[in-house]
C-alpha cells in the first residue's frame, strides 16, 4: 500500500520462510497476517503469551547455551551453507568442523557425562 518493491534479499528470506504461494499472497494483497496464521504458515515458530515472553526466551537460550558450542557452531554453519548452496569448499569446511568437534574436549566430556548419567559441562574446546 506504499508503492514499495521490497529488496530481493528480503523477498528471498520470506520465500524461504513461508514458500512462494504465501509470499505472493502477503505481498500482492498487502494484508495483515495475524499471530495464528503466522504460526500456521511458518513465519514464526511459536506463540507465547506476552506475560511469558521473557521467561520463555531465557529458557530457550538456556537450552541452546547448555549444548556444546562447537556443535551449535557447526549446525549453524551447515544451515547457512545449505541455504547458500553447497559447494566443494563448503562441504570440506563442514567436514573439517565435524572432525574438530569429534576431536574436542567437549566431545569427550559429552561422552563421559552420558555414561555417568549427568549433564555435560561444555567449555567450547
Residue 57 is predicted with a pLDDT of 97
H-helix or E-strand spanning residue 38: helix 35-41
The answer to whether residue 2 scores a pLDDT higher than 90 is: no
Residue 17 is predicted with a pLDDT of 92
- Helix 88-102 with 69-84: angle, nearest 10 deg: 170
- Measure CA 89 to chain center: 22
Residue 46 is predicted with a pLDDT of 94
CB count within 10 Å of CB 66 equals: 11
The number of helices, as runs of H, and strands, as runs of E, in the chain is 6, 0
Please state the φ and ψ torsions of residue 68, each to the nearest 5 degrees.
-65, 125
Among the listed residues 91, 69, 73, the one whose alpha carbon sits nearest the alpha carbon of residue 81: 91
> Rounded mean pLDDT of the chain?
94
Residue 53 is predicted with a pLDDT of 96
Residue 1 is predicted with a pLDDT of 74
Amino acid at each position: 500500500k506504499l508503492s514499495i518493491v521490497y529488496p530481493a534479499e528480503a523477498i528471498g528470506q520470506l520465500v524461504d520462510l513461508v514458500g512462494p504461494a504465501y509470499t505472493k499472497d502477503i505481498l500482492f494483497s498487502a494484508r495483515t497476517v495475524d499471530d495464528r496464521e503466522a504460526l500456521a504458515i511458518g513465519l514464526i515458530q511459536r506463540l507465547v503469551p506476552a506475560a511469558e515472553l521473557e521467561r520463555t526466551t531465557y529458557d530457550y537460550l538456556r537450552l541452546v547455551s547448555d549444548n556444546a558450542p562447537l556443535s551449535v557452531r557447526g549446525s549453524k554453519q551447515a544451515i547457512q551453507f545449505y541455504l547458500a548452496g553447497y559447494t566443494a569448499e563448503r562441504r570440506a569446511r563442514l567436514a573439517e568442523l565435524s572432525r574438530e568437534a569429534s576431536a574436542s574436549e567437549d566431545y569427550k566430556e559429552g561422552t563421559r557425562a552420558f555414561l555417568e548419567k549427568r549433564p555435560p559441562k561444555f567449555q567450547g574446546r
